[in-house]
């Protein structure tokens, strides 16, 4: 161990190494709850804090509300006293380390809403004590940890890097995946000081297979934004390729398959009806917003966002064209949307393009139903719908079936047999869609 570390850091690292530490997790959603479970399984006592009384009640009963957390594992950890849940921040006074995993949405004006980070940090202050590390996991722009969290933590007189420790470690959760999980996805960690980094690394090392320390909190913050900007820009590129191929009468899916045969220099991305989820549609805009403060225009990000944001309208226009070809008007048409989750095989509808597609179709006078085996009901901007109980019957009634999210459990070949017309925005039918005269592909 580095002898130049402050005494408080050395003592804290010893507690993490010996598994005698208590870890707190603020925000028990799709990031925080899996993290709390991993930490509890690593041998720490874990205290989870969330202001949602339903979540706290569920956790105290050992019930999981997150698909990636098994009810069996959760109930065992609760029963053994390794995982506790509370709505009181005062419970964190016993914690040696606290991870903050709260939402960071965008306001309608396009600027970051960091109110959850601010309120969580302020609520944590009375529980803060010498020999504690605080790690922010919520995605945000570079500088947030140092400029916003640090002053709040130091307001009580404790010094970051000497008495208490502060770091940023971006969440990298991809809901629904079983190959890459909270435990085995490499964990990037950047502290305010080198001592902060070492302390944070020691806390996470017990539960994570691969730790990636970096030189600062800002590097860690920027790392997360690069990851999701990379995806957003490349999805924007392939979405524009789909628009160009449509104009040229070329099958974009065949083009992508052919390009993907190259074993180097190409990474496969696929077009679709728009971006969804909390990260990819939002995170790059954090960076774009931040750069405006230094008089820099993030042109790639802005252009990709413009293309991706307009994809739901493009889908609606293509559906309208397909109905016209079939001799039907969009106004008054009965439509069935397949899948409203933002990606396959999950129940998460945050920022889902399906919500925009349905809203636009309704605005144009269509009667819209949806089917999603993972999402029983949706509420969005003043309207609500429930998933139809019988997919095949609804598909038979519909003037057009629109595949927005390609869940694996759906029999697309059977869907093609019973539907009068299908608009396939995900190439869910594959070769069958190419051969069928009833299928129109993005």
- What mean pLDDT is reported for the chain? 95
Structure tokens at 163: 């008495």
d(CA 79, CA 62): 8
d(CA 238, CA 246): 12
The pLDDT, as a whole number, for residue 395 is 98
Structure tokens at 139: 């995605």
Residue 3 has pLDDT above 80, yes or no: no
Over the stretch 382-393, which tens digit does the pLDDT of each residue have? 899 999 999 999
- 233 touches 301 (CB < 8 A): yes
- 232 touches 301 (CB < 8 A): yes
pLDDT band of residue 133 (cuts 50, 70, 90) is: very high
Over the stretch 32-90, which tens digit does the pLDDT of each residue have? 999 999 999 999 999 999 999 999 999 999 999 998 899 999 999 999 999 999 999 99
The average pLDDT across 297-310 equals: 93
3-state secondary structure string across the chain: CCCCCCHHHHHHHHHHHCCCCEEEEECCCCCHHHHHHHHHHCCCEEEEECCCHHHHHHHHCCCCCCCCCCHHHHHHHHHCCCEEEECCHHHHHHCCEEEECCCCCECCCCCECCHHHHHHHHHHHHHCCCCCEEEECCCCCCCHHHHHHHHHHHCCCCCECCCEEEEECCCCCCCCCCCCCCCCCCEEEEECCHHHHHHHHHHHHCCCCCEEEECCHHHHHHHHHHHHHHHHHHHHHHHHHHHHHHHHCCCHHHHHHHHCCCCCCCCCCCCCCCCCCCCCCCHHHHHHHHHHCCCCCCHHHHHHHHHHHHHHHHHHHHHHHHHHHCCCCCCCCEEEEECCCCCCCCCCCCCCHHHHHHHHHHHCCCEEEEECCCCCEEEECCEEEECCCCHHHHHHHCCEEEECCCCCCCCHHHHHHHCCCEEECCCCCHHHHHHCCCEEEC
Residue 278 has pLDDT above 90, yes or no: no
The pLDDT, as a whole number, for residue 279 is 80
Over the stretch 243-273, which tens digit does the pLDDT of each residue have? 999 999 999 999 999 999 999 999 999 999 9
Over the stretch 206-233, which tens digit does the pLDDT of each residue have? 999 999 999 999 999 999 999 999 999 9
β-partners of residue 335 are 368, 400
The pLDDT, as a whole number, for residue 282 is 85
The pLDDT, as a whole number, for residue 215 is 97
The pLDDT, as a whole number, for residue 107 is 80
The pLDDT, as a whole number, for residue 217 is 98
Domains, in order of start, for the chain: 7-215 (3.40.50.720), 229-441 (3.40.50.720)
Closest to 214 in 3D by CA, of 187, 188, 185:
188
The pLDDT, as a whole number, for residue 109 is 73
Over the stretch 99-128, which tens digit does the pLDDT of each residue have? 999 999 888 777 788 999 999 999 999 999
The average pLDDT across 162-174 equals: 96
Over the stretch 321-336, which tens digit does the pLDDT of each residue have? 999 999 999 999 999 9
- 358 touches 337 (CB < 8 A): yes
Closest to 21 in 3D by CA, of 49, 48, 45, 47:
45
Closest to 392 in 3D by CA, of 354, 336, 323, 333:
336
Q: Provide the annotated active-site residues.
A: 279
The pLDDT, as a whole number, for residue 2 is 47
Residue 411 has pLDDT above 60, yes or no: yes
The pLDDT, as a whole number, for residue 1 is 42
Q: What is the pTM of this model?
A: 0.92
Closest to 441 in 3D by CA, of 344, 323, 315:
315
The pLDDT, as a whole number, for residue 309 is 94
The pLDDT, as a whole number, for residue 177 is 86
């Amino acid at each position: 161990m580095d002898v130049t570390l402050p005494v408080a850091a050395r003592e804290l690292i010893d507690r993490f190494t010996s598994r005698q530490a208590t870890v707190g997790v603020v925000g028990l959603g799709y990031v925080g709850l899996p993290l709390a479970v991993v930490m509890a399984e690593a041998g720490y006592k874990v205290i989870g804090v969330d202001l949602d009384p339903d979540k706290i009640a569920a956790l105290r009963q050992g019930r999981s509300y997150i698909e990636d957390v098994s009810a069996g594992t959760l109930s065992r950890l609760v029963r053994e006293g390794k995982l506790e849940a509370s709505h009181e921040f005062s419970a964190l006074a016993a914690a040696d380390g606290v991870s903050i995993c709260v939402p960071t949405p965008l306001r309608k004006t396009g600027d970051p809403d960091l109110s959850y980070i601010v309120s969580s940090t302020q609520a944590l202050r009375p529980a803060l004590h010498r020999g504690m590390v605080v790690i922010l996991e919520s995605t945000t722009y570079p500088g947030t940890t140092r400029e916003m969290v640090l002053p709040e933590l130091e307001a009580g007189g404790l010094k970051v890097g000497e008495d208490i420790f502060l770091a940023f470690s971006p969440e990298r959760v991809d809901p629904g995946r079983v190959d890459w999980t909270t435990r085995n996805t490499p964990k990037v960690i950047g502290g305010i000081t080198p001592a902060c980094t070492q302390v944070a690394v020691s806390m996470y090392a017990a539960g994570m297979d691969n730790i990636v320390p970096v030189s600062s909190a800002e590097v860690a913050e920027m790392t997360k934004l690069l990851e999701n900007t990379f995806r957003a820009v490349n999805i924007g590129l392939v979405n524009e390729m789909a628009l160009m191929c449509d104009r040229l009468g070329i099958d974009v899916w065949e083009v992508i398959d052919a390009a993907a045969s190259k074993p180097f220099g190409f990474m496969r991305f696929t077009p679709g009806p728009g971006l969804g989820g909390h990260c990819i549609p939002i995170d790059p805009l954090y960076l774009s917003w931040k750069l405006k403060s230094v008089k820099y225009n993030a042109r790639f990000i802005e252009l990709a966002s413009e293309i991706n944001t307009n994809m739901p309208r493009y889908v609606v226009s293509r559906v309208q064209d397909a109905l016209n070809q079939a001799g039907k008007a969009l106004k008054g048409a009965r439509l069935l949307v397949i899948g409203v989750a933002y990606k396959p095989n999950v129940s998460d509808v945050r920022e889902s393009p399906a919500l925009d597609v349905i809203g636009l179709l309704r605005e144009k006078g269509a009667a819209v139903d949806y089917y999603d085996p993972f999402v029983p009901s949706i509420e969005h901007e003043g309207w609500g719908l429930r998933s139809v109980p019988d997919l095949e019957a609804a598909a038979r009634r519909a003037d057009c079936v629109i595949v927005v999210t390609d869940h694996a459990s759906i029999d697309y070949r059977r869907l093609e047999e019973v539907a009068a017309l299908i608009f396939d925005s995900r190439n869910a039918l594959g070769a069958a869609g190419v051969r069928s005269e009833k299928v129109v592909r993005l």
